[in-house]
Amino acid sequence: MTRRPWLRGLRARLLVAFVLVTVLGAVAAVWSSAGSAGGALVTSYQRQVTRTIGDQIGAIAPQLTYPPDQGALDRLRATVGANALVVYGDLRSADGVDTGLITDELRLAVRTGDRLVTQRTVVDGEPWLLVGTPVMITASDGTRTPSGIEVYAVRDLTGVEREIDGLTRSAITTAAWALPLSGLAALLAAGSVLRPVRELRDTAGRLAAGDLDARSPPQGADELAELTVTVNEMAESVQTSMAEMERMRADARRFAADVSHELRTPLSTLTAVVEVLADTTDGMEPDARESARMAITETHRLVRLVEDLMEVSRFDAGTARLRVEEADAVGAVRDSLRARGWWDRVELVAPEEVPARLDRRRLDVVVANLVGNALRHGEPPVRVHVSALPEQVRIAVTDSGPGLPEHVVPHVFDRFYKADAARTRTPGSGLGLAIALENARLHGGDLTAENTDHGARFVLRLPRDPEEPGDPEER
C-alpha cells in the first residue's frame, strides 16, 4: 500500500492514530454496551411474558373442566390474552391473526415435551416472541403427565426492539462526542511533541549552516528533552573539536610562514655565494664543475620553493591582496609569453583585445605556470586560447602530450602532489598549480584541469569585473 503524502506528517499521523483508536474504542464500547443492554432487555421481557402466561394458565387451570370442552378452551384462551391459540385433540380455540407465525419446531417441542418453551422469530423484519406450553396434570405424589392441552401465545417484540434501537442510538451519539474531543487531544499532543522537534530541527539547521553556538533549551523531562540535551552535547563537542582543529591549522600555517621567512635571509647569502661560484666554474676540474652546477641549480630551486611557500602562506593567512587595474587580458598573456621567451613555442589564439579589470602580476604567475607545465610535461604544439565571454575571460592552455592520468586529475591542484612518485627531481616546487588556483580564486574566478582527445587542458576563468577582492579565508 502506498502511503498517501498527507499521512507523512507527524501531526496527521498522530491525529489519525488517535481518532482511529477512539473510534475503535467507541465502537467496541457501543457494541458491547448496547448488545448487553439489548440482550438483557429482551431476556427480561421474555421472562416476564412467560411467567405471566404460566401464572395465568396455572390460575385458571383448576377451574377448567377436564377433559375440556370448547367453552373451557375459549376461557383458557381468553385468559392468555390476544394472539393466543389453545389446542386439545381436534378442538382448537384461536384468536388473532398472528397465530400463523407459530413454527412447527415449537409445536413439536410443546407436543413432545413437558416444559414451557419460547422461540424468537423475525417475520418481514418484525421480531416476534412465540411462547408454547403443554398444560400438565399433577398427581397427588407430584408426578406430572401432559393433559393434551397445548397453549400457544404470540407477542410482538417491536416495542422492545425500538427501545434497544433507542439505547444504541444514544450510545452512538455519546460515543460520537468523543471524536472531536479525541481530535483536540491529538492536536494538543502533536503540538507538545512537534514544538520541541521543530526547535531541534531549527537548531540542527543552524549547526549545519555553521552556527556552532546554536543550542535549544531542553523543556520538561521526557525523551525529547533528553534528545535535546544530547544534541546540545553533540554541538558542544563539535564546537570544541572545530576550535581545536582551527587552532592547529593556524599553528601549522604560522609555522610554515615562519620557516620560510627565517629561510629567506640565509638563502639570500647562499644565492650570492652561488652566483660567485657560477662565475668561477670555468677554471674547475670537470667533476668539481658538475658538482658546482648542481649546487647552483638546487639553490635556485630552494629559493623558488621558499618564495612559493611564502606566497602560499600569504594566501593561507589571508594577507594576499588583489591589485586590479584596467588591462587587456590578451596583451597581458602576450607579455607573459614574450618575457619568458616562449613566444615561438606557443600558439596564441586570441581576439585583438579583451579589456578586463585584473591583477596583471597574478595573471602572469598563472599563465607562466600553466604554459611552463605544458611545455615541460606535454608535447608541442602548446596552444593558449583566450576568449571573451560576456562576464568572463576564458584562458585555456592545451598541450598535445599524453594528458593527465585519470587518477591524477582530482589531485592536480593539491600542494606537493607528485603525479609520478619516481620523478621527484622536477624543477618545479610542487606548489605552482596550487598557487595558480589560489590566484584564480582571489580574482573570484576558477581554474580547472581536464583531458582532451590530444592532451591536457587547463582552463582559467576570470570575471571581467571582479567584485571587491575576496578574502581567501571566506571562500
Partner 1 sequence: MRRVWCAAVALLVAGCGIQPTGVTDGGEAPTGVAPGVTLYFVGADGELRPRQRDTGGLGSISEALSLLLSGPGGSGLRTGIAPISVQRVGVTIEPGVIELVTPLTIDDVTPLGIDQIVCTALDTHVRSGGSRDMRVRVRFTQPTPETDELRTCPLIR
Q: Does 131 bind partner 1 (CB under 8 A)?
A: yes
Q: With respect to partner 1, which residue has the nearer C-beta, 31 or 417?
A: 31
Strand partners, 156: 128
Nearest approach in angstroms of CB 32 to partner 1 is 8
138 binds partner 1 (CB under 8 A): yes
42 binds partner 1 (CB under 8 A): yes
User: Which is nearer to partner 1, 64 or 190 (by Cβ)?
Assistant: 64
Among 127-135, 239-247, 255-263, 404-412, the segment contacting partner 1 (CB under 8 A): 127-135
Asked if residue 435 binds partner 1 (CB under 8 A), the reply is no
How many CB atoms neighbour CB 367 within 10 A?
Answer: 26
Q: Find the part of the chain contacting partner 1 (CB under 8 A) among 94-102, 111-119, 239-247, 404-412.
A: 111-119
Are residues 101 and 123 in contact, defined by beta-carbon separation less than 8 angstroms? yes
Q: Is 58 in the site for partner 1 (CB under 8 A)?
A: yes
Nearer to partner 1 by Cβ, of 122 and 252: the residue is: 122
Piece in contact with partner 1 (CB under 8 A), picked from 49-57, 320-328, 331-339, 423-431? 49-57
Least distance (Å) between residue 127 CB and partner 1? 4
The stretch among 45-53, 327-335, 344-352, 362-370 that binds partner 1 (CB under 8 A) is 45-53
Rounded least distance, CB 98 to partner 1, Å: 16
CB-based burial label for 89 (10 Å; 0-12, 13-18, 19+) = exposed
The length of the chain, given as a count of residues: 475
Burial 91-116 (b: 16+ CB within 10 A, else e): bebbbeebbebbeeebbebbeeeeeb
Give the nearest distance from C-beta 161 to partner 1 in angstroms: 5
Q: Check residue 83 for interaction with partner 1 (CB under 8 A).
A: no
331 conformational bin, left if phi > 0, alpha if psi -120 to 50, beta if neither: alpha
Piece of 159-167, 205-213, 322-330, 465-473 that binds partner 1 (CB under 8 A) = 159-167
Least distance from partner 1 to the Cβ atom of residue 117, Å: 5
Cell digits for 439? 590566484
Using the minimum distance from each CB to partner 1, give the nearer residue, 42 or 356.
Answer: 42
Cell numbers at 206, concatenated: 543552524
The H or E element containing residue 137 is strand 126-138
Nine-digit cell string for 7:
499521512
Say how far residue 224 (Cα) sits from the centre of its chain. 18
Which amino acid is present at 150?
E
Is 22 a binding residue for partner 1 by CB under 8 A? The answer is no
Question: Rounded CA gap, 128 and 157, in Å?
Answer: 5
Report d(CA 115, CA 86) in Å as an integer: 16
Report the side by side order of strands in the sheet with 382-388: 346-349, 382-388, 392-398, 456-463, 446-451
Q: Does 87 bind partner 1 (CB under 8 A)?
A: no
CB of 122 to partner 1, least distance (A): 5
- Cβ density class 124-142: b for 16+ within 10 Å, e for less: eeebbbbbbbbbeeeeeee
Residue 136 in the binding site for partner 1 (CB under 8 A): yes
SS3 at position 381? coil
Distance of alpha carbon 111 from alpha carbon 92, whole angstroms: 14
Phi, psi of 274 (to 5 degrees): -65, -35
Residue 1 vs 421, nearer CB to partner 1: 1
Pick the piece of the chain touching partner 1 (CB under 8 A) from 144-152, 189-197, 425-433, 467-475: 144-152
Nearer Cβ to partner 1, position 165 or 226?
165
Quickly list H helices, 280-402. Answer: 286-317, 329-339, 360-377
- Provide the binding-site residues for partner 1, judged by CB under 8 A: 24, 27, 30-31, 34-35, 38, 42, 46, 50-51, 53-55, 57-58, 60-68, 105-106, 109, 113-122, 127, 131, 133-142, 144, 147, 149, 151, 157, 160-161, 164-165, 168
